[in-house]
Amino acid sequence: MKFKLPCETLTKQGKRPCRAPGIVMKNGRIRCKVHGGYSTGPKTKEGKARSANNIIKYNDQRASNKRQINEQDL
């Protein structure tokens, strides 16, 4: 892996570019290790299933959090 190109991600602080040394991703964007440059996503069937489960879990959590907030408002 080459680590020479500057990361294109905008940081939260003042929306400046990250500029840490990164790699070119599949989609053509440059990402450093902090912004997902190392990750290539789940490869095995088990890994894909686990990641899908995480999304379901997250959505459930978000839905329940929303409900709690609404109840507090009332």
With contact defined as beta carbons under 8 Å apart, do 27 and 17 qualify?
no
CB 30 to Zn ion: min, Å: 8
On whether the CB atoms of residues 31 and 41 are closer than 8 A, the answer is no
Give the closest residue to 38 by CA, choosing from 49, 48, 24, 28: 24
Nearer to Zn ion among residue 5 and residue 18 (C-beta): 18
Q: Where on the chain is the footprint of Zn ion (CB under 5 A)?
A: 7, 9, 18, 20, 32, 35
Cβ proximity to Zn ion, 41 vs 56, nearer residue: 41
Q: How far is the CB of 58 from Zn ion (least distance, A)?
A: 23
